[in-house]
A and B are shown apart, each in its own frame.
Chain A
Amino acid sequence: MMMSIGAVAAASTLDLLAYSPPGWGATLLKGLLNSIVIALGAYGLGLLIGIGGAFGKLYGGPVLKDLLAVYTTIVRAVPELVLILILFYAFTGVLNEALLAWGFDRVQISPIVTGIAVLGIVQGAYQTEVLRGGILAVPSGQIEAARAMGMSRGLLARRITLPLMASNALPGMANLWLNATKDTALLAVIGFSELTQATKQAASTTKAFFTFFAAAMVLYLCISLLSTFLIGRIEKWARRGQRDMRG
């Protein structure tokens, strides 16, 4: 019932969603684009950290292993919102202090870069764990055989470990991609103009709160449905040549 009342009240404000200026469509779509760019960047950065972290956790020295354990434990125990706030201030603060110390002027870092860096560090911790699990699930005989053939470490990782672990790690990595798209919404709290912030701005200007938040929900849902579809295709590709386990 509440939803139907909402729909009726919202229908009268639907033209606010039009693309050109009286409507706020362009603002929302720009926010959506920012969200996607930040999510892609953060996921990419997280992948770099994750691959490094996973190999470090499995094959690194004792000090590296412990440091990585501290990193993944802290990041996974503290709420993303708190981490984003801490990293946001720490990232810009430390960088500017360093610049001042070396005799440069302070810089204003673009919000998108900050967002990518902050979310990337968060993603990296989760991806480290997922990728580590994926590597552990690679049959050890494969790796031993490659070592016996005299492959160097880099070649072994590139030709054997990474391709074989891909299908193991994919479900977890897919979940993390969806998390990355959803976590971009948290950046609204520190005032980045991504989709959530753009929506809030549009909603509080026009007072059509329900319309805009519902529209943004639809946009987020589109991202995740499209992602789920593409991930399904990728998973099929990564599992090519494997026996169907469903029997």
Chain B
Amino acid sequence: MGAAWPTGYEGLMRDFLKPHRIILLAIALALVAFCVLKLRWDWLAEPKYQIALLQGIWRSIWIMVVTMVIGMLLAIPIGLAQAAGPWYLATPARVFCTVIRGTPLLMQLWLLYYGLGSLFPTIPGIRDSVLWPILRQAWPYAVVALSLSVAGYEGEVMRGAFKGVPHGQLEAAKSMGMPRLTILRRIWLPQAIHRVLPTIGGETVLQLKSTPLVSTITIMDTYAVAGRIRQDTFIVYEPLILLAVIYMVITGIIVLAFRWFERRLPTRTA
């Protein structure tokens, strides 16, 4: 960071607290005070809603993390196939990315859950198989749909990352006599991943914002819990406000975590 930035806590505060900001902050505080005092929050004191909300938040985060990891793992071969694969691998990968990126995630989720889900029972023998107890539940469809979505978007990003690795690096590795798999493992993949790392924080936030869709297939995530509270108590706005605040807090935590993580990454600027 250059010297132009105010250093230390006091400099930051002086930079932030300009006169108009103090007035804006006062207005914001007044708004918050109004929301806290004038709106109905008594339902928050009930243990059953507290537990439901915590469980919902846990589910949202769980789905976000699991689908992000699976999706990124799928995205690597998809990106590689598009960047360097033979046509019979590159074409399906490109079609996959186009379909995933060209259709709404809600539609993909419903195609899997309602569409495939309604076809499974017609397949003879599937009710007796070991898979049936899993296929009857909603979460496998949610995990598959959201993972494929990440794979589609990130596959495209990985393609660019693989292509962006300087050619000289690969040529140098080849001239050292490295086998192709070793080149991929030691040179190409690490540099490609290093290139996409700064974007992953943003993608994780996007993924968090996709998770409420799973409430449409009966999974009780944060969004669904808020909807249930609204139905039970006939309170219109308050659970929605709480919902927005919860998502903003989680987003903030993700952003801060990745900022911390990025600072620890070794970077070299030439």
Write the residues of chain A forming the contact surface with B, with a CB cutoff of 8 angstroms: 2, 5-6, 9, 62-63, 66-67, 74, 77-83, 85-86, 89-90, 93, 178, 182-186, 188-189, 196, 199-200, 203, 207, 209-210, 213-214, 216-217, 220-221, 223-225
Contacts and interface: CB of A to CB of B under 8 A. Distances in A.
Contacts of B251: 77-78
A185 B21 contact: no
Given A78-B209, A213-B115, A225 B106 contact: no
Contact of A79 (B99, B111, B208): B208
A214 to B, nearest CB: 6
B216 A189 contact: yes
Contacts of B244: 74, 78, 82-83, 86
5 contacts: A182-B105, A189-B216, A200-B110, A213-B110, A223-B102
Interface of B: 18, 20-21, 24, 98-99, 101-108, 110-111, 114-119, 122-123, 205, 208-213, 216, 223, 236-237, 240-241, 243-244, 247-248, 251-252
Given A62-B20, A79-B212, A214 B115 contact: yes
B240 A89 contact: yes
A82 B243 contact: yes
Given A9-B119, A77-B252, A78-B247, A213 B209 contact: no
A79 B106 contact: no
Contacts of B116: 2, 6, 210
B247 A213 contact: no
Contact of A216 (B20, B102, B107): B107
A164 B15 CA distance: 33
B111 A217 contact: yes
Given A81-B213, A86-B240, A200-B110, A5 B103 contact: no
A182 B244 CA distance: 21
Given A74-B248, A188-B106, A224-B103, 12 more contacts: A5-B119, A62-B20, A77-B251, A78-B209, A78-B248, A79-B211, A82-B244, A89-B236, A89-B237, A196-B110, A203-B114, A221-B103
Interface centre among B98, B106, B108, B252 (most CB of A within 10 A): B106
Nearest to B102: A224
A6 B237 contact: no
B20 A66 contact: yes
B114 A6 contact: no
A209 B117 CA distance: 9
Contacts of A207: 118
Contacts of A82: 212, 223, 240, 243-244, 247
Interface centre among B101, B102, B117, B119 (most CB of A within 10 A): B102
A224 B24 contact: no
Contacts of A85: 240
A194 to B, nearest CB: 10
B70 to A, nearest CB: 18
Contacts of A178: 101-102
A80 B209 contact: yes
Contacts of B216: 189
A127 to B, nearest CB: 17
Contact of A196 (B106, B115, B210, B241): B106
Contacts of A66: 20-21, 24
Nearest to B104: A185
Nearest to B205: A77
A79 B118 contact: no
Nearest to A221: B102
Contacts of A200: 110
Nearest to A6: B119
